[in-house]
Amino acid sequence: MSLNAQLLHASYKELRTALDEKEVSSIELTQAFLERSKKLNTDLNAYISFTDDLALEQAREADKRIAQGEKGGILGMPIAVKDLILVKDYKCTAASKMLESFTAPYDASVVTRLKQAGAPILGKTNLDEFAMGSSNENSYFGATKNPWDTAYVPGGSSGGSGAAVAARMAPLSLGTDTGGSIRQPAALCGITGIKPTYGRVSRYGVVAFASSLDQVGPMCADALGSAAVLESISGHDVHDATSVSAKVPSFVALAEKFVVENKIKGLRIGLPKEFFSEGLDPAVDKVIKEAVSVFKGAGATVVDIELPHTKYSLATYYIICSSECSSNLARYDGIHYGHRTSKKTTNLEELYSLSRREGFGEEVRLRVLLGTFALSSGYYDAYYRKASQMRTLLRDDFKKAFEKCDLIAGPTSPTTAFKFGEKSGNPIQMYLSDVYTLSTNLAGLPGLSMNVGYANKLPVGLQLLGPWWRDDLLLGAAHAYQTLQPETLKGAML
Ligand code: GLN
């Protein structure tokens, strides 16, 4: 291969320059990433399927556009897409037996935008079934492994997208985040990922888990790459009434400006005491404090803040997400959508219930049951209504906190990656791995995770949370940190 293998490990900026200066073509790059991905996938299981034909056709098209002088953005840059997002004419499984043979009849709006932006789609990445999980162990197709050490989980639910980027099987990927599914795997795999402000990105054509919490977002080694993807997929969509018509800023330009104008200086960073309490691995705590001191050293001020309702976020999240999923997943009954039992049945109800029992995995069934219970008459007020009220209080906590600080920092996850099987028998332990990320989704805020070092020989993620619509601030601060600490950007399996 003529391609300079270093390019597979390049930063967003280096890759952009190589494409713009025609040092490499999109087709060469796409072929090289496909080749590397297929080789590593036997071990890592990061992709459920590849979309070679589409990727190569898109790459040829991108090369034509580049030849005509078009530049920038993600034009010609290959991307991996979580297998929860529809790509027309290709399988979309949601990592479930239920959708094992489902072919997408149309493109999700984010995919339409990726196509317009000229990013070749390499394939569909692995996840926890219907995005429910924190370790990828709930995938019907077997778990993805963490490229830093394959005895460990990559995080979830977007574990395939995280591992693919960490192992440089793709320079960019898309994940979804309902309660932490972009940020937690980004942390455990040592990369950057951002969950945008709710409403920033269209959910049309994304298999729904919990509609009031789900957001699609980018995962990439660095903040600039994430900014470039976010810029391409954001904006109002007529197909999604919750997408907002606010003008999409140029996230890449803003992040670069943030560094040039040294906006770290004077930035007030809030450290919530609830994010540094019991349950946090002291080794993670140490790396996080060091990262905060990098910001301090560059002129930021650190203030102590409180998010007093944080202790209720786990219960609130699981009532709301289970309630919404019990409704969203009602369509998979073997008639309208999804796997149909081959067993002989005598009535419709039996057909529905057998198909659902066979098609859904254990975690999905657990949540559908929980959600149905929480929404049932007699319990609705005690659970769903209470959880909705708590959601307002959690939002208010953040509103108050942002009067004192410009952004909030803390650990993304209480621990580094854990071993396969370590938490899978204990739902509470598993749920606790998202304890710092859940409240962001309940409040609709933007949240970013980036690698800031290593503990227990595994990556540690710093989480940054910003006020509504200030996704640019998170990307700017992350880019500033990464400019100061470029060694935190290296990938696994080099
Ligand atoms: N791990 C959390 C859950 O299991 C969050 C998942 C997500 O963000 N999709 O629900």
pLDDT single digits (tens) 391-415? 999 999 999 999 999 999 999 999 9
Ligand 1 atom having least distance to the Cα of 184: 1
Q: How confident is the model at residue 425 (pLDDT cuts 50, 70, 90)?
A: confident
pTM of the model: 0.97
* 212/202 Cα distance (integer angstroms): 12
**Cα 62 to middle of ligand 1, angstroms:** 35
Cβ neighbours, 10 Å, residue 22? 10
Mean pLDDT of 131-160: 98
Q: Does 4 have pLDDT greater than 90?
A: no
Residue nearest to atom 10 of ligand 1 (CA): 132
Tally of CB atoms within 10 A around 237: 22
Q: Residue 237, SS3? A: strand
Mean pLDDT of 317-334: 98
The radius of gyration of the chain's CA atoms, rounded to the nearest angstrom, is 21
Q: What percent of the chain has pLDDT over 90?
A: 95
Confidence of residue 149 (pLDDT cuts 50, 70, 90): very high
Rounded to whole angstroms, the Cα distance separating 122 from 26 reads 12
Amino acid found at 455? A
pLDDT in the model for residue 128: 98
- Which residues lie closer than 8 Å to 162 by C-beta, 6 or more apart? 154, 155, 173, 175, 185, 186, 188, 189, 191, 193, 219
What's the 181 CA to ligand 1 centre distance in angstroms? 5
Q: SS3 for 361?
A: coil
- pLDDT the model gives residue 427: 86
Report the atom number in ligand 1 closest to the C-alpha of 438.
5
* CA 363 to ligand 1: nearest atom: 4
Q: Tell me how far the alpha carbon of residue 392 lies from the centroid of ligand 1, in angstroms.
A: 20
What is the average per-residue pLDDT within 276-285?
94
Task: Tell the residue nearest (CA) to atom 5 of ligand 1.
Answer: 179
Q: What tens digit of pLDDT does each residue of 296-313 get?
A: 999 999 999 999 999 999
Nearest ligand 1 atom to the CA of 441 is 8
Distance 321 CA to ligand 1 centre (A): 9
- Comparing C-alpha atoms, which of 430, 463, 157, 183 is closest to residue 314? 430
Q: How far apart (Å, rounded) are the C-alpha atoms in residues 329 and 310?
A: 28
Residues with CB under 6 A from ligand 1: 131-134, 157, 177-181, 209, 321, 434
Identify the pLDDT of residue 278: 86
Interval between CA 26 and ligand 1 midpoint (Å): 34
Type and span of the H or E element at 112: helix 109-117
For 89, the token pair is 């004419």
pLDDT digits (tens, 9 = 90+) for 459-487: 999 999 999 999 999 999 999 999 999 99
The pLDDT confidence band at residue 209, using thresholds 50, 70 and 90, is very high
Q: Could you read off the pLDDT of 115-138 as tens digits, one per residue? A: 999 999 999 999 999 999 999 999
CA of 179 from ligand 1 middle (Å) equals: 5
Closest by Cα among 493, 481, 396 to 42:
493
Each residue's pLDDT tens digit, 335-358: 999 999 999 999 999 999 999 999
Nearest-atom index, ligand 1, CA of 182: 8
User: Ligand 1: which of 211, 434, 463 to mutate, judged by most atoms within 8 Å of the beta carbon?
Assistant: 434
Ligand 1 centroid distance, CA of 440 (Å) = 12
- Residue of 127, 129, 132 with the most ligand 1 atoms within 8 Å of its CB, for mutation: 132
**Lowest-confidence region among 323-332, 422-431, 447-456:** 422-431
Pick the atom of ligand 1 nearest to 134's CA: 1
What is the structure's pLDDT at 84?
98
User: Percent of the chain at pLDDT above 70?
Assistant: 99
| Cα–Cα dist 471/251, whole Å | 8
- Residue 178 CA: which ligand 1 atom is closest? 8
Each residue's pLDDT tens digit, 30-58: 999 999 999 999 999 999 999 999 999 99
Distance from the alpha carbon of residue 128 to the mean position of ligand 1, in angstroms: 9
Cα separation, 169 vs 466, in Å, equals 30
Q: Indicate the average pLDDT of the chain.
A: 97
pLDDT of residue 494: 57
Smallest CA separation from ligand 1 atom 4, residue: 133
135 CA from centroid of ligand 1 (Å): 10
For residues 112 and 156, is the Cβ–Cβ distance under 8 A?
Answer: no
Using most ligand atoms within 8 A of CB, pick from 130, 134, 216 the residue to mutate for ligand 1.
Answer: 134
Task: Determine the average pLDDT of the residues in 376-384.
Answer: 93
DSSP labels, 331-345: GBSSSSBS----S--
User: Which residue in 154, 206, 204, 210 sits closest to 182, CA to CA?
Assistant: 154
Question: Can you tell me the mean pLDDT for 192-215?
Answer: 98
pLDDT at residue 5, as a whole number: 80
Reported as a single tens digit per residue, the pLDDT across 438-461 is 999 999 999 999 999 999 999 999
- Residue 1: per-residue pLDDT: 45
Return the active site residues. Answer: 82, 157, 181
Neighbours of 428 (CB within 10 A): 9
Identify the helix (H) or strand (E) that includes residue 55: helix 52-67
